[in-house]
């Protein structure tokens, strides 16, 4: 089966009735957890972005508290999982300010992790890549927001 392009899907969806669209969305939500999460964000949480950010930060905090810091392998694995979760939530939002806030929060939590990540090259490199990504995303924000976030970044580093 050949997968249709986004343009083709858009054209086809525009020809469907609202009832058919509802059925398609519900059917789509049954197949993958990620689809259900995206629909939840779009329907319930996209109206209040600040509450969404706080909820994601809380989830990140909980995951950092559960990290097994007995050995580096398990720590790296857990940190990557937390980052993957944060990136998923960032992808749902498509808002650069949300991306910057969540990545700064992730980096802050990573920096405060015990034992220090300075002893591990993999985690240090992961932190540096996220800082570079934050700096890149900052360029698309308004000047005032950029200044505020850059001062936060300077404190972080």
Buried b (16+ CB within 10 A) or exposed e, 78-99: bbeebbebbbebbebbeebbbb
Please state, in angstroms and rounded to a whole number, the distance separating the CA atoms of residues 12 and 24: 12
Q: What tens digit of pLDDT does each residue of 103-157 get?
A: 999 999 999 988 888 888 999 999 999 999 999 998 888 888 888 888 888 887 7
Q: How far is CA 43 from CA 58, 91, 113, 135, in A?
A: 21, 15, 35, 30
Q: What tens digit of pLDDT does each residue of 3-25 get?
A: 888 898 888 889 999 999 899 88
């Amino acid at each position: 089966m050949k997968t249709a392009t986004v343009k083709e899907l858009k054209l086809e969806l525009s020809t469907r009735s609202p009832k058919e669209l509802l059925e398609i969305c519900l059917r789509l939500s049954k197949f993958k957890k990620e689809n259900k999460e995206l629909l939840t964000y779009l329907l319930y949480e996209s109206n209040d972005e600040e509450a969404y950010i706080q909820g994601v930060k809380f989830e990140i905090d909980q995951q950092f508290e559960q990290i097994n810091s007995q050995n580096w392998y398990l720590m790296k694995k857990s940190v990557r999982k937390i980052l993957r979760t944060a990136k998923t939530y960032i992808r749902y939002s498509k808002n650069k300010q949300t991306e910057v806030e969540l990545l700064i929060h992730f980096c802050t939590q990573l920096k405060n992790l015990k034992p220090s990540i300075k002893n591990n090259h993999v985690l240090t490199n992961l932190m540096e890549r996220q800082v570079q990504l934050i700096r890149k995303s900052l360029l698309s924000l308004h000047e005032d927001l950029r200044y505020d976030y850059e001062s936060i970044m300077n404190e972080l580093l």
